């Protein structure tokens, strides 16, 4: 039996979506706080790319643990408290990194930053599903996805710009100011982040909240035995192996192979991230019209992205064409992102948003921790083209996994998010 749910005012929904999206952008912003400063760390601290790849592995390994555990904390204690701690830790990490003088300092800073970063997906999706009207959840997911790409795209000009004006330590202090300001905004609008109370301020209750009350509690073992959850994890792992190559090493590859300046190579990275955002918008329109073809859209987009990445790996297009094909890779990946999110949403049991998103999106952290170790070693030995070719293979792997996941989603299953009782 369905229950009528009063819609919340669009202004309030927009405010919730905007605040959560800003928090998500800050999480993705943190992904590049370390790799953007790699050239300075090599120059000033005498480190190697393998060593710095290890630093990134620590960041994402800690983020993996935090993401997996925070899903359970969010479901039990609410998203708001967890988010406050996360923003505070990220500000503290940036202050710590501004005073870095050794590898051990970098490792501690990466660990602090990883804890703060790890909680955002369980927090964000729990808040959106609780606070946003069901009619506007599609817009909420689209904005959330887009904000992550925006966070990536803002990091290069912010960090490189401040480093150019002053010292790289000043860039980290500036980033700390960003997190402190965002935490203050979250405290000010704390009612928008409530995931444990009754109805929202205007008396509305989201579909997720009403379903959660009647949904059976799912334990960790049951979630880990779910093929849909496992394959969703593997899919995000494959995708992130590629993302990590572009984020961490594309600037180095463009500098060494095509002799681009540091600024020009970073602008290519910014263009990559912005084009991914454009692809997200276009992909949202595409999947809205073809919801039953999500798996085909993902597979086609990943195949196109792999082709562009392989073309970049050859170096045939030179200093002018290679940045263009890299940016086109981002467009293809962005086109498939909304369809990807729809498939993961379909794999999420009712009432387990925090736990499932914590487990599934931990694939991002495992991939991001693994990729720098593998591809960092290739970079250190001068295998720049092979690095991009390896990234393309993981894109092809993601296309195959999406088809496997689609078969599991078509099998009989218990109710998932978005299926109203």
Q: What is the pLDDT of residues 141-168, one digit of tens each?
A: 778 888 887 888 788 889 988 888 888 8
Residue 417, in any domain of the structure: no
Question: How many other CB atoms sit within 10 Å of the CB of residue 255?
Answer: 17
Residue 416, in any domain of the structure: no
Please state, in angstroms and rounded to a whole number, the distance separating the CA atoms of residues 159 and 172.
8
Cβ atoms of 311 and 383 closer than 8 Å: no
Question: How many other CB atoms sit within 10 Å of the CB of residue 410?
Answer: 10
Please state, in angstroms and rounded to a whole number, the distance separating the CA atoms of residues 261 and 192.
44
Residue 157, in any domain of the structure: yes
Please state, in angstroms and rounded to a whole number, the distance separating the CA atoms of residues 109 and 95.
9
Is residue 24 pLDDT above 80, yes or no? yes
Is residue 22 pLDDT above 90, yes or no? yes
Q: What is the CATH number of the domain that holds 337?
A: 1.20.1250.20
Give strand pairing partners of 416: 349
Question: How many other CB atoms sit within 10 Å of the CB of residue 177?
Answer: 13
Task: Give, in degrees to the nearest 5, the angle at Cα 361 between 360 and 366.
Answer: 100
**Among the residues of 78-206, which ranges form H helices?**
79-98, 103-118, 120-131, 137-165, 168-188
The gap from C-alpha 112 to its chain's centroid, in whole angstroms, comes to 18
The gap from C-alpha 258 to its chain's centroid, in whole angstroms, comes to 29
Alpha-carbon dihedral sign for residues 12, 186, 193, 350:
positive
Q: What are the structure tokens assigned to 92, written together?
A: 């503290």
Number of domains in the chain: 1
Cβ atoms of 75 and 127 closer than 8 Å: no
Residues counted in the chain: 421
Is residue 92 pLDDT above 90, yes or no? yes
pLDDT, tens digit (0-9, with 9 covering 90-100), for 34-91: 988 888 888 888 887 778 888 888 888 888 888 888 887 887 778 888 899 999 999 9
Nearest to 38 by CA among 396, 305, 379: 379
Residue 201, in any domain of the structure: yes
Segment holding 49, helix H or strand E: helix 49-77
Residue 332, in any domain of the structure: yes
Is residue 176 pLDDT above 80, yes or no? yes
Cβ atoms of 34 and 157 closer than 8 Å: no
Residue 414, in any domain of the structure: no
Q: Residue 37: CA atoms inside 13 Å, Cβ hemisphere, count?
A: 29
Is residue 419 pLDDT above 80, yes or no? no
Residue 334, in any domain of the structure: yes
Which structural domain range is residue 50 located in?
Answer: 10-409
pLDDT of residue 46: 82
pLDDT of residue 181: 94
pLDDT, tens digit (0-9, with 9 covering 90-100), for 191-245: 888 776 643 444 444 444 444 444 445 566 666 677 777 878 888 898 888 888 8
Please state, in angstroms and rounded to a whole number, the distance separating the CA atoms of residues 391 and 311.
12
Segment holding 308, helix H or strand E: helix 294-314
Residues of the chain with pLDDT > 70, as a percent, come to: 84
First to last CA, the chain: 6
Cβ atoms of 50 and 380 closer than 8 Å: yes
Please state, in angstroms and rounded to a whole number, the distance separating the CA atoms of residues 38 and 262.
11
The mean pLDDT of the chain is 80
Q: What are the structure tokens assigned to 397, written together?
A: 């792997």
Helix, strand or coil, per DSSP, at residue 351: coil
What value does the CA radius of gyration of the chain take, rounded to a whole number of Å? 21
Please state, in angstroms and rounded to a whole number, the distance separating the CA atoms of residues 200 and 212.
15
pLDDT, tens digit (0-9, with 9 covering 90-100), for 259-304: 888 888 888 888 887 888 888 778 777 776 776 777 788 888 888 9
Is residue 421 pLDDT above 70, yes or no? no
Cβ atoms of 313 and 386 closer than 8 Å: yes
Residue 272, in any domain of the structure: yes
Cβ atoms of 168 and 40 closer than 8 Å: yes
Question: How many other CB atoms sit within 10 Å of the CB of residue 18?
Answer: 14
Long-range pairs of 174-177 with CB within 8 A, sequence gap ≥ 24: 175/29, 175/33, 175/94, 176/91, 176/92, 176/94, 176/95, 176/98
Helix, strand or coil, per DSSP, at residue 200: coil
pLDDT of residue 177: 93
Contacts of 394 (CB under 8 A, 6+ apart): 238, 239, 241, 242
Q: Residue 194: CA atoms inside 13 Å, Cβ hemisphere, count?
A: 13
Residue 414 pLDDT grade (very low, low, confident, very high; cuts 50, 70, 90): very low
Nearest to 101 by CA among 149, 61, 47: 47
Q: Residue 14: CA atoms inside 13 Å, Cβ hemisphere, count?
A: 3
């Amino acid at each position: 039996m369905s229950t009528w749910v009063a819609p919340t005012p669009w202004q309030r929904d927009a405010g919730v979506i905007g605040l959560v999206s800003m928090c998500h952008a800050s999480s993705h912003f943190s992904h590049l706080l370390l790799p953007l400063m790699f050239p300075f760390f090599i120059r000033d601290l005498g480190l190697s790319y393998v060593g710095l790849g290890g630093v990134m592995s620590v960041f994402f390994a800690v983020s993996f643990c935090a993401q997996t555990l925070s899903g359970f904390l969010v479901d039990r204690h609410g998203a708001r408290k967890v988010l406050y701690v996360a923003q505070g830790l990220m500000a503290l990490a940036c202050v710590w990194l501004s005073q870095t003088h050794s590898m051990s300092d970098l490792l501690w800073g990466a660990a602090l930053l990883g804890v703060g970063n790890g909680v955002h997906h369980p927090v964000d999706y729990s808040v959106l599903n609780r606070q946003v009207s069901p009619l506007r959840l599609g817009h909420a997911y689209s904005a959330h996805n887009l904000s992550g790409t925006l966070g990536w795209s803002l990091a290069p000009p912010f960090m490189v710009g401040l480093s150019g004006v002053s010292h790289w330590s000043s860039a980290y202090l500036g980033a700390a100011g960003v997190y402190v300001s965002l935490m203050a905004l979250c405290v000010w609008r704390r009612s928008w982040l409530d995931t444990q109370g009754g109805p929202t301020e205007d008396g509305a209750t989201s579909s997720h909240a009403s379903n959660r009350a009647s949904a059976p509690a799912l334990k960790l073992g049951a979630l880990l035995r779910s093929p849909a959850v496992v394959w969703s994890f593997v899919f995000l792992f494959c995708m992130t192996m590629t993302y990590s190559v572009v984020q961490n090493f594309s600037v180095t590859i463009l500098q060494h192979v095509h002799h681009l300046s540091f600024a020009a190579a970073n602008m290519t990275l910014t263009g990559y991230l912005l084009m991914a955002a454009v692809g997200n918008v276009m992909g949202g329109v595409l999947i809205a019209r073809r919801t039953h073809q999500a798996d085909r859209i993902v597979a086609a987009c990943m195949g196109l992205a792999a082709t562009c990445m392989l073309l970049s790996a050859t170096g045939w297009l030179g200093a002018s064409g290679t940045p263009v094909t890299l940016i086109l890779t981002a467009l293809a990946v962005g086109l498939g992102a909304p369809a990807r999110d729809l498939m993961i949403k379909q794999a999420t049991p009712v009432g387990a948003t925090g736990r499932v998103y914590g487990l599934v999106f931990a694939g991002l952290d495992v991939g991001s921790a693994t990729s720098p170790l593998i591809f960092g070693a290739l970079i250190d030995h001068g295998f720049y083209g092979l690095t991009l070719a390896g990234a393309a293979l993981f894109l092809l792997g993601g296309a195959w996994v999406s088809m496997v996941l689609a078969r599991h989603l078509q099998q009989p299953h218990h109710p998932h998010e978005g299926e109203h009782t």
